[in-house]
Chain A
Amino acid sequence: AQKVTQAQTEISVVEKEDVTLDCVYETRDTTYYLFWYKQPPSGELVFLIRRNSFDEQNEISGRYSWNFQKSTSSFNFTITASQVVDSAVYFCALSETTDSWGKFQFGAGTQVVVTP
């Protein structure tokens, strides 16, 4: 069963618009970690942010912000004032602590297209 769901396949925006990416996860672990990665056309996955299950404080880092809500098992990610360089596929990932050494479970990804 899919443990990480990214329902949005593709989002197209015009530069300077905000983009919010949805992520819903499923786990029975009480301790777990959530991540967002960016994959530009070059193919390399780039780490963006990490959150643990005990810290629901939402933060802002530059143009990135995230909204973690355990009650709805959601970990949404927002890019403020998007730029063309933000065009990439964005992946949400879950790392559990039960029998999960080194195993990240990724969502299907959301393609973000930012046009000038």
Chain B
Amino acid sequence: KAGVTQTPRYLIKTRGQQVTLSCSPISGHRSVSWYQQTPGQGLQFLFEYFSETQRNKGNFPGRFSGRQFSNSRSEMNVSTLELGDSALYLCASSFGTDSYEQYFGPGTRLTVT
């Protein structure tokens, strides 16, 4: 069974630009969660999608948004990039209930200059 895939793996953007990251979950998983990982703040929850609906959202500004498609693939978008958005962005897929473990992709390393 293929694992969670994320594209691209690395990105370099300039302040003010926008970026779109993609995540393909494990086959059969309908939930996709996104996390931001930085040395200072650690792993922080961004949002979760299930069956194309956002069910939960973390404490991030509106510049961070996402969506999920009918095949459960998900994208997250960050507009008007700031230097502080430089981070490893991880997506995780699961069956969609609290009891199930999440399986993570390799992450997208975003650098904002």
Contacts and interface: CB of A to CB of B under 8 A. Distances in A.
Contacts, number: 72
Contact of A102 (B55, B105, B107): B55
Interface string A76-100: 0000000000000001000111011
Contact of B99 (A37, A46, A52, A102): A52
Interface residues of A, number: 28
Contact of A95 (B42, B43, B50, B98): B98
A59 interface: no
A91 B43 contact: yes
Interface in B61-113: 88, 90, 92, 94, 96, 98-99, 101-107, 109
A96 B107 contact: no
Contact of B90 (A35, A45, A107, A108): A45
B58 interface: yes
Given A99-B56, A106-B42, A108-B42, A33 B98 contact: yes
Contact of B107 (A43, A47, A99): A43
A16 interface: no
Interface string A13-41: 00000000000000000011101010000
Nearest to A108: B42
Residue from B33, B43, B105 with most neighbouring chain A CB atoms (10 Å): B43
Interface of B: 31-33, 35, 42-43, 45, 47-50, 55-56, 58, 88, 90, 92, 94, 96, 98-99, 101-107, 109
The 8 closest A-B CB pairs, nearest first, are: A102-B48, A101-B55, A45-B104, A102-B33, A106-B43, A101-B56, A44-B106, A103-B45
